[in-house]
Amino acid sequence: MQRKYLMKWLTAIMALTCIASTEMKAQAGGSAVPFLLISPDARASAMGDVGTAIADDINAVYWNPAGLGFHNYINPEAEFVEDLIPYRQVSLTYSKWLPQFNADLFYSTAGVAHYFEKLDGTLAFNFIFMNLGEFTKTDYNGNEIGKFISNEYSIGLSYGTQITDDLAIGFQLKYIVSNLAPKSATDGGDAGTGMSGGFDIGLLWRPSKLDIFGWDISNKLSLGFNLQNVGPKVTYRKEADPLPTNLRLGVAAQLYEDEFNDLKLSCDLSKTLVYRDSLGSDPIPTSLITGWKNKGVELGIGFEYWYKFNNLPLFALRGGYFAEPAKLGNRKYFTFGAGVKYNIFNIDMSFISPTEENHPLANTMRFSLLVDWK
């Protein structure tokens, strides 16, 4: 197989990767594996891609692993210790990616979390998979000689624990694989496959007692911090691209709650710490400093309303808005979604509505299932 066709195939694959990751590529500053920046659950996606300060379910592994630290026992007011049940959740998400392109692209996640008393914290395992579609191999003369499928995925292990009554810390270790082309499509080499590892670290503050100018907001406010995707570059034989290292700050507030209603508002700021110039991209930890040369911050803001019956959540409505500066890609879109909770099952969906016509993200939907023994 001729090298010029190898490079042609790899270029086509990487171009498709850029298209498939339109939602986050602009902010990634030329990084590899930008799928790591896709919002993993329909709930957060419907709220304008926010969740750093909420992080109250298993999807905290993405938004802020410190949120796992507040997950311990279900029914903490049980009269007897033997009535306590360790916290555990399972989640699944699926999205047909960029549906208007009619390509075989999809994004999916799966995760499980469980509280372990001996560890004084919650462990979670998650898997993220991005399918980039099928490609055709050709020989020097352009004759078809087979097909191959490209994909990228990551495997993560997270842990979160409380360090005080109001503050939790968490981290995630992840293994990342980018299969842009198999060995058979790269002249026997591995130019189309890259691997790396990374970690996330987060903090979450939920004050149980807080009074501001006579206004009691105990258990109604939370502040979150999460540094994501810190690790070495992904190398494709001779080419090396950085991970999409990202800093997230978030705030969430419960605006109103009674027997039948629960209304929350949340906001996230996101800054990608990847720096690239004519000489190449800076490695970790240098990019944690030089990344600030890239001007602009992404903003997401959203709300969640729950209607409750017998003081239990029943039906949710969500909405939000996401925006970034023109120099980062100028993505601007509204998000909408809904959720239903029945017994231990939560089903959520979200929908993206860009502000410009014919945007690649138009009509992108996500569907999530969460099994919650809480």
Question: What's the confidence (pLDDT) of residue 271?
Answer: 93
- State the average pLDDT over residues 162-188: 83
Q: Count CA within 13 A, CB hemisphere, residue 331.
A: 26
What is d(CA 78, CA 57) in angstroms, rounded to the nearest whole number? 21
Name residue, tokens 């299932």: 369
What is d(CA 60, CA 68) in angstroms, rounded to the nearest whole number? 6
* pLDDT tens digits, 231-272: 999 988 777 889 999 999 999 999 999 989 999 999 999 999
What is d(CA 21, CA 49) in angstroms, rounded to the nearest whole number? 15
Q: How many other C-beta atoms can be found within 10 angstroms of the C-beta atom of residue 7?
A: 12
pLDDT exceeds cutoff 60 at 343 = yes
Question: What's the confidence (pLDDT) of residue 27?
Answer: 39
Nearest to 352 by CA among 318, 326, 328: 318
Q: And the tokens for 178? A: 């980018």
Query: Given pLDDT bands bounded at 50, 70 and 90, which one contains residue 5?
Result: very low
Query: Given pLDDT bands bounded at 50, 70 and 90, which one contains residue 148?
Result: confident
* pLDDT tens digits, 47-99: 999 999 999 999 999 999 999 999 876 555 555 544 556 788 999 999 988 77
- Spans of all domains in the chain: 3-372
Whether 35 contacts 152, CB under 8 Å: yes
Question: What's the confidence (pLDDT) of residue 85?
Answer: 63
Whether 222 contacts 206, CB under 8 Å: yes
Question: What's the confidence (pLDDT) of residue 159?
Answer: 97
Poorest-confidence range of 22-31, 91-100, 175-184?
22-31
* pLDDT tens digits, 261-291: 999 999 999 999 988 877 778 888 888 898 8
- State the average pLDDT over residues 223-230: 97
Question: What's the confidence (pLDDT) of residue 16?
Answer: 42
Q: Which CATH architecture has domain 3-372?
A: Beta Barrel (2.40)
When comparing pLDDT for 17 and 148, which is higher? Answer: 148
Give, as one character, the DSSP assignment of residue 49: S
When comparing pLDDT for 137 and 120, which is higher? Answer: 120
Nearest to 158 by CA among 197, 123, 106: 123
pTM of the model: 0.85
Whether 374 contacts 114, CB under 8 Å: no
